C-alpha cells in the first residue's frame, strides 16, 4: 500500500468533475490534467468515469467523424450538485489543514 | 463424455477443428480474424491496440486450455472453445473501450452515435424464435424415431442421419448459439452502439442491420430444425 496514492484516490471524483466543468471533455485530457495529482493510471480514471456515469453525475456520448470514434463527457445537473458538495468538503479540509477554524 | 451417443465421425471432426483453432490461437494467428468485422473501439488508435492486446492474451490462454481439454474430451473442449471465445471477446471489448476513451483526440466534435432503443425488441423476438423449436422438440421427443434424417441431396432425398440424442443436442446447441449471438448484438445496438461500428460500417444509422441479419439467421435455423422434426414424424407437407 502506498499512502500517497491512497490519499489521492478519494479525490478523483472531485477532480474529474471539476475538470469536466472546466471544459476538459475527453478521457485523455482529464488524465493529463490529473498527472500532478497522484498521476492516476488509465484504469483508475476509466473506472472513476464509469462510476460517475453509472451514478448519473456525468453523461458520456460517443462521437464519430467517419474515421474514428471518441467519447465526450459533460456534467449533469446531479453532477453539478455533487461537485458543489465535494468542493465544500474540500474547503472544510483545507481550512482545517491550514489551521483556520470554521 | 457429455453426449454418449454422438457418432464417432462428429467427435473426430470436432477434435480436428479444436486442435486447428487452438494452435492458431497459440501462434497468435487468430486475433487477426475478429478485426475483419472489427468492433467500433478498434476505430480508435489506442482502442485498437488495447483490443488486440487483450485478444492475444485471452487467445493464448484459451488455446492452451482447449488443447489440454481436447486430450480428455473433444466435445467438452468444443464447449470450452465456444464459451471461452465469448469471454475473451467481451474482455477485449472492455479493454478496447478503455483504450478508446483514453485515446488522444486531435479534433473536437463529430456525429453522435445514438443508441437504437428498438433493438431491445429484437432480443425478445430472438428468445421467442429460439424457444419454438426447443419446446417443439421437448413435446414431440417421445414420438420421434431412433434415427432421424438430418440432411438431403439436391433431389431432396435423405443422405444424412443422426441418432435421437445427437439430434436433440445439435438442435439445442445450434439454436441457442445463434440466438445468443443475435441477442448479444441486439443488446450492443441498444446499449453500446459504438461497439458495432467497424471499418466497413462507419455510418451509425446502419448499426441495426447486423442484429436484424442475425435474427434472420436464428429464424432460418429454427425453421430448419422444426422442418426436420416434422419431416421425421412423417408429416412432410
Do residues A52 and A13 lie in contact, with contact meaning Cβ atoms separated by under 8 Å? yes
Q: What are the grid coordinates assigned to B210, written together?
A: 447486423
Cβ of B104 within 8 Å of Cβ of A65? The answer is: no
pLDDT digits (tens, 9 = 90+) for B27-59: 777 666 655 557 899 899 999 999 989 988 898
- Model pTM score: 0.81
What is the DSSP track for A14-72?
HHHHHHHHTT--SHHHHHHHTTTTT---HHHHHHHHHHHHHTTSEEEEEEE-SS-EEEE
At residue B237, does pLDDT exceed 50?
no
Cβ of B100 within 8 Å of Cβ of A42? The answer is: no
pLDDT digits (tens, 9 = 90+) for B192-222: 999 999 888 888 888 889 899 999 999 999 9
Integer Cα distance of B167 and B145 in angstroms:
11
Tell me how crowded residue B117 is: count the other CB atoms within 10 A of its CB: 10
Cβ of B105 within 8 Å of Cβ of A70? The answer is: yes
Do residues B23 and B30 lie in contact, with contact meaning Cβ atoms separated by under 8 Å? no
A-to-B residue pairs, Cβ atoms closer than 8 angstroms:
68
Per-residue pLDDT at A102? 52
Of B41, B98, B112, the CB nearest to A63: B112
Stronger pLDDT, B189 or B158, i.e. the higher one: B189
**Closest alpha carbon within chain B to A63:** B112
**Cα dihedral: B70, B74, B79, B81 (round 10):** 40
CA distances from A75 to A63, B94, B209 (A): 17, 23, 32
Cβ of A69 within 8 Å of Cβ of B104? The answer is: no
Per-residue pLDDT at B15? 78
Band the pLDDT of B160: cuts 50, 70, 90.
confident
Band the pLDDT of B22: cuts 50, 70, 90.
confident
Cβ of B113 within 8 Å of Cβ of A71? The answer is: no
Band the pLDDT of A9: cuts 50, 70, 90.
confident
Do residues B46 and B58 lie in contact, with contact meaning Cβ atoms separated by under 8 Å? no
At residue B236, does pLDDT exceed 60?
no
Element (H, E) at B150: strand B147-152
Taking contacts as CB-CB distances below 8 angstroms, the residues of chain B near A46 are: 98, 101-102
Per-residue pLDDT at B38? 73
Give the mean model confidence (pLDDT) for residues B171-198.
92
pLDDT digits (tens, 9 = 90+) for A27-86: 999 999 999 998 999 999 999 999 999 999 999 999 998 888 999 999 999 999 999 999
Cβ of A43 within 8 Å of Cβ of B204? The answer is: no
Mutate to test the interface with B, among A68, A71, A73 (most CBs of B within 10 A): A68
Taking contacts as CB-CB distances below 8 angstroms, the residues of chain A near B198 are: none
Q: What are the grid coordinates assigned to B221, written together?
A: 435455423
Tell me how crowded residue B135 is: count the other CB atoms within 10 A of its CB: 10
Phi, psi of A72 (to 5 degrees): -115, 135
Do residues B183 and B130 lie in contact, with contact meaning Cβ atoms separated by under 8 Å? no
Cβ of A63 within 8 Å of Cβ of B193? The answer is: no
Per-residue pLDDT at A87? 95
Amino acid at each position: 500500500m502506498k499512502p500517497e496514492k491512497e490519499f489521492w484516490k478519494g479525490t478523483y471524483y472531485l477532480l474529474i468533475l471539476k475538470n469536466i466543468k472546466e471544459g476538459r471533455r475527453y478521457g485523455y485530457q482529464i488524465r493529463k490534467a490529473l498527472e500532478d495529482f497522484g498521476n492516476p493510471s488509465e484504469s483508475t480514471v476509466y473506472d472513476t468515469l464509469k462510476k460517475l456515469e453509472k451514478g448519473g453525475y456525468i453523461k458520456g456520448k460517443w462521437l464519430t467523424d467517419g474515421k474514428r470514434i471518441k467519447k465526450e463527457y459533460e456534467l449533469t445537473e446531479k453532477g453539478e450538485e455533487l461537485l458543489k458538495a465535494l468542493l465544500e468538503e474540500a474547503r472544510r479540509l483545507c481550512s482545517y489543514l491550514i489551521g483556520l477554524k470554521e | 463424455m457429455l453426449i454418449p451417443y454422438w457418432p464417432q465421425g462428429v467427435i473426430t471432426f470436432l477434435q480436428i477443428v479444436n486442435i486447428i483453432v487452438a494452435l492458431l490461437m497459440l501462434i497468435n494467428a487468430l486475433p487477426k480474424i475478429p478485426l475483419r468485422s472489427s468492433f467500433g473501439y478498434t476505430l480508435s488508435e489506442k482502442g485498437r491496440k488495447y483490443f488486440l492486446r487483450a485478444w492475444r492474451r485471452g487467445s493464448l490462454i484459451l488455446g492452451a486450455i482447449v488443447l489440454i481439454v481436447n486430450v480428455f474430451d473433444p466435445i467438452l473442449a468444443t464447449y470450452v472453445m465456444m464459451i471461452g471465445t465469448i469471454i475473451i471477446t467481451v474482455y477485449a471489448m472492455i479493454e478496447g473501450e478503455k483504450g478508446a476513451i483514453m485515446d488522444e483526440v486531435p479534433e473536437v466534435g463529430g456525429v453522435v452515435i445514438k443508441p437504437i432503443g428498438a433493438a431491445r425488441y429484437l432480443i425478445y423476438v430472438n428468445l421467442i424464435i429460439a424457444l419454438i423449436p426447443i419446446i417443439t422438440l421437448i413435446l414431440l421427443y417421445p414420438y420421434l424415431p431412433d434415427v432421424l434424417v438430418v440432411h438431403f441431396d439436391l433431389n431432396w432425398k435423405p443422405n444424412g442421419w443422426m441418432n435421437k440424442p445427437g439430434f436433440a443436442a445439435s438442435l439445442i446447441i445450434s439454436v441457442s448459439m445463434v440466438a445468443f449471438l443475435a441477442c448479444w448484438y441486439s443488446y450492443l445496438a441498444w446499449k453500446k452502439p459504438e461497439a458495432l461500428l467497424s471499418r466497413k460500417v462507419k455510418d451509425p444509422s446502419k448499426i441495426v442491420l447486423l442484429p436484424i441479419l442475425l435474427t434472420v439467421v436464428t429464424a432460418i435455423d429454427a425453421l430448419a430444425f422444426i422442418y426436420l422434426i416434422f419431416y421425421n414424424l412423417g408429416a412432410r407437407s
